[in-house]
Structure 1
Amino acid sequence: MIDKEELLNNKEFYKSFKSGEDLTSFFKTMHKRAVEHMLEAELDAHLDNEKHEKTKDGNYRNGHGTKKIKSSFGESEIKVPRDREGSFEPALVPKKHNIIDGLENIIISFYAKGMSVSDIEEQIKEMYDFDISTSTISRITNAVASEVVAWQNRPLDDLYLIVWMDGIVFKVRENSKVINKTIYLAVGLNREGRKEVLGMWLGKNESSSFWMSVLTDLKARGVEDILITATDNLNGFTGTIRSIFPESQTQICVVHQIRNACKYVVCVNSHINTPSNSH
């Protein structure tokens, strides 16, 4: 049986929580997956349009090429779909271009529960700046929405040793204006010592009802117990956690690293340990 008090005071436990991929790596992976799905939908729309044109032979898919792209998350290698005739010109990542700048926050926000399909469609319109047809926008939206829903509803483990919750403010363009959106993340540490982002939720404000919906979502996806929950004293959270996970112990600490550098900080015995000052 796992002793919660022992975990709270076990530096090796927290060391394992801090090791491995950080949030930036997670965002990088999600960004790559979304871009690839959007490119696939672009090619589908391109081939569908060609069916209505008078051509000698039908065009079709012809595997994938690879391309390195750069974003604020670093460099990633993506798969770019190809057509037999070579007439496909990606709009999101044009040929001879490899920098996707200013779209990262929009793409990551797709994965947050609270974004409707129409919200995603509006964001995609902003991204493409109306350079593509309405039907292509709809096709891309459907591809992204399918990927997002599958990720949001994936099954989770029955037990997590610790779950960290905090909010990150993203600047995104909406209706030609840059606005702030807060996305709340739940990051869990499983029995094997692996971290994973359990989910992301778009929150207009922190309230007991909001956290009730988040925790109920985790439980519906298979989580039966959380030994320790750690937050930055999020409003309404500590009072709600026990109603869903009554055996969980809540640890309050300042989780400023997630906001500032996409790293994790750990609160042990009322002081902060970070990768830079822990030994």
Structure 2
Amino acid sequence: MADKYEIDIQAFAKALQSGQNLNGKDGLLTPLIKQITEAALGAELDEHLTKETSTNRRNGSSKKTVRTSSGEFELETPRDRNGSFEPQTVKKYQTRLTDEMEGKILSLFALGNSYQSIREHLLDLYGMRISNGTINAITDRLVPELRAWQERDLEPLYPFVWLDAIHYKIKENGRFVSKAIYTILGLTVEGKKELLGLYLSDNESAHYWLSVLTDLQNRGVKDILIASVDGLEGFPEAIETIYPETEVQICVIHQIRNSMKYVASKNQKAFMADLKCVYKAATQNAAEHALDELEAKWGKQYPLVIKSWRSKWDNLSVYFKYPEQIRRAIYTTNAVEAEHRQFRKLTKTKGGFANETSLRKLLYAGMLKASEKWTHPVQNWNLTLSQLSIHFPDRVDQYVDL
């Protein structure tokens, strides 16, 4: 008579050749894993019984459903009469043999899949029916990890930091309200991207940005060389309060978009051609001369637009101080907006979120996925860092050994 745990390799190979699936419902691997696991448990018990000083023997088995990456099965765990056997291959309360399935759930979640889509994927891959509650419980494991990430210590110096906000609908007191997620993307002295934090508030304001910057300081950020921000009123002043030496560049693209809202459609092409001479100028003097010409030509028609450029000029023109390599990095907030585009891909199928936690953990999962690509410095970083050390010698040299 064949051993209970003997594996018929020829039958297995024949079934595989006939096209039977390895994984999923009715897959070949599930009964194979069951046999191997139960054989290992039987061997464990045999070894345990040889070490027992008192009389002890086998006493039947207990059953439980075990999930694996290949499927699920009823596992028979052998028991001993004395109840002293503690299996290690599959422990008493263990119901999964691998974290692969949970990793698959988190991976699908990080790509923005709905719970329904995740359930369909798992049914197709593993032949398992998973409830929304189970998926939620697995994704909730990101919450303490997110909390630790949000409170982690940061580097003392970030040469570049981009700050911007993105808005989402979150259910509150039975209705959906718009809230702002504040995103801070930094570039380390090694030239690698790092998302410093995600903060949530009722709306975007310079006052709340002040609390965000205070948190960065408390977590160890001593200095930021250049910060790129949108045109929010009071933003540069908020940064100056915490980091008085930081150069603050207002995003030129934000400023252009806001300006064009007030220019009549029939004049937009001509106005844009003249405005381009301002922000594309080779030097700050040339840019200021172009701004004078812009005002002379369009000032009477669009005084509010010209006034906006004049009042924000100190922060709009910061990038003219630097060579092209640095200019490209700081004159817009495009770096952090690229992350927001990834966030929107994750959330595009969701009209709103049931609570703040559901939004936070999805964005965190998405950030983890995106950061897998942030393992190398940005292009030409050594050249950029050398240029920064010329402009900020004392501030760079204490943290970087050039």
Greater Cα radius of gyration, structure 1 or 2:
2
| TM-score, reference length from structure 2 | 0.34
Structure number with the higher helix fraction is 2
| TM-score, reference length from structure 1 | 0.47
